Amino acid sequence: MEKIRVGVVGLGHRGRHMARLVQDAFDHCATVVAACDSDPVLWHETQWLQQKPMKEILPNAVFYENYIEMLDHCKIDIVMVETGADVHASFCIEALNRNMDVFSDIPSVANLKEADALWKAEQASKGKLMTGANPNEWGFINALVDLYQKGLLGKPYYMEAEYIHSSLNTVESKELTVHSPWRKLLCPIRYCTHSLGPLLRIMEEDLRYVVCMGTGNHFDDDSQKDNMSAALFQTESGVTIRLLRNGKCRAGIGSHSYRVFGTKGYYERLDSRGAQYPAVTRFRSDDLYGAHDFTILPSGMMANEYIYNPKASGHGGADYALMDHMFTAYLNGDAEYPISLREGLRMTLPGIFAEESSKRKGERLRMTYPWDSDWSTEF
């Protein structure tokens, strides 16, 4: 079998990790044939958490400093876009314009005009886009989806999520920001995809309204963004999501928590609260015999199907699951990837509207999407 030819643009911490994952864990079906970064040091020299430079980790890849040159000179089946969080769309569009498939990390776009251009580019292309929403792949989120699909939660009407990044002046936070301007500049609520993506898996409606407020910056000299953003999203039928996102903070708690209130049950995944309180997943249901009381589910980050797979790694195996599902869909010739561009925009655009609401001191905004008849690239 001919291997899937992968090219990667962006060799920051994330791009290096994902390219290595493809090379190490998917050698049976894929190979990295090209890598690109405007900073050649990231290719030639050993970086943080590496034993050797990327040029030795990816022996089959040709390195480019110029992205267009990589696309035009190298035969690539799937381009992995791992540039900063606010600069994905133009890279994806260039690849789609050349009928290549794309794996785009999240958030999908940085503004409404990009959403419009990316949506149109995919529709005009023979290529298709896979959204790199790894939190959608966590085992405890699969458990939530299963409870929902079996009707054990009823209809969700109120949900909560928080993504609290606790790092403050740690070695990790310093290393992560060396090459990553987006980590200092991006308004926290724009990085809402890790929180909304999993919850949107159990919602048929798109989010339609938002109000958001930010705290301003009280203590982080290194950053120009709010220390914390709090948003409320709502669908047309009134389903409401509360979301908390931060820049840095001193909490020292686990990052990702979710709560779902349904008409027949309740689900929660609470991330760790210090060493004494590890992460826990619990639920209760009116409709499952024996689950009338609060019940612990043995679901962790790793999806069940990968528990005994030694190659499954990256964010508790979610990175592996993402790539596995994408390569499988590619080899099957599926018409769409399992996390489509539409799903990416459903979880990304609410953050863009929320930032605008925050700039307008919490004004309630109506959100539209490229597939809506009243879609507009103006707020």
Ligand X SMILES: NC(=O)c1ccc[n+]([C@@H]2O[C@H](COP(=O)([O-])OP(=O)(O)OC[C@H]3O[C@@H](n4cnc5c(N)ncnc54)[C@H](O)[C@@H]3O)[C@@H](O)[C@H]2O)c1
Site residues (vs ligand X, CB under 6 A): 9-15, 36-39, 42, 67, 82-85, 105-106, 132, 134, 179-180, 182, 315
359: which residues sit within 8 A by CB, 6+ positions away? none
Angle between helices 341-359 and 193-200 (to 10 degrees): 130
When computed from its CA atoms, the radius of gyration of the chain, rounded to whole angstroms, is 20
Q: Considering beta carbons, is residue 193 or 368 the nearer one to ligand X? A: 193
Q: Considering beta carbons, is residue 66 or 169 the nearer one to ligand X? A: 66
Q: Considering beta carbons, is residue 86 or 122 the nearer one to ligand X? A: 86
Q: Considering beta carbons, is residue 5 or 194 the nearer one to ligand X? A: 194
Q: Considering beta carbons, is residue 15 or 370 the nearer one to ligand X? A: 15
Cα–Cα distance, 313 to 19 (Å, whole number):
13
Q: Shortest distance, CB of residue 315 to ligand X, whole angstroms? A: 5
Q: Shortest distance, CB of residue 103 to ligand X, whole angstroms? A: 11
Q: Considering beta carbons, is residue 182 or 261 the nearer one to ligand X? A: 182
Q: Are 15 and 80 in contact (CB under 8 A)?
A: yes
Q: Shortest distance, CB of residue 66 to ligand X, whole angstroms? A: 7
Q: In the bound complex, which residue of the shown chain has the CB atom lying closest to ligand X?
A: 12
Please count the CA atoms within 13 angstroms of the CA of 46 that sit on its side-chain side. 4
Q: Considering beta carbons, is residue 23 or 83 the nearer one to ligand X? A: 83
Q: Are 5 and 15 in contact (CB under 8 A)?
A: no
Q: Considering beta carbons, is residue 103 or 369 the nearer one to ligand X? A: 103
Q: Considering beta carbons, is residue 184 or 364 the nearer one to ligand X? A: 184
Q: Shortest distance, CB of residue 70 to ligand X, whole angstroms? A: 9
Cα–Cα distance, 284 to 289 (Å, whole number):
10
Angle between helices 341-359 and 112-124 (to 10 degrees): 170
Q: Are 167 and 254 in contact (CB under 8 A)?
A: no
Q: Shortest distance, CB of residue 134 to ligand X, whole angstroms? A: 5
Q: Shortest distance, CB of residue 12 to ligand X, whole angstroms? A: 2
Q: Shortest distance, CB of residue 32 to ligand X, whole angstroms? A: 15
Q: Shortest distance, CB of residue 178 to ligand X, whole angstroms? A: 8
Q: Shortest distance, CB of residue 183 to ligand X, whole angstroms? A: 6
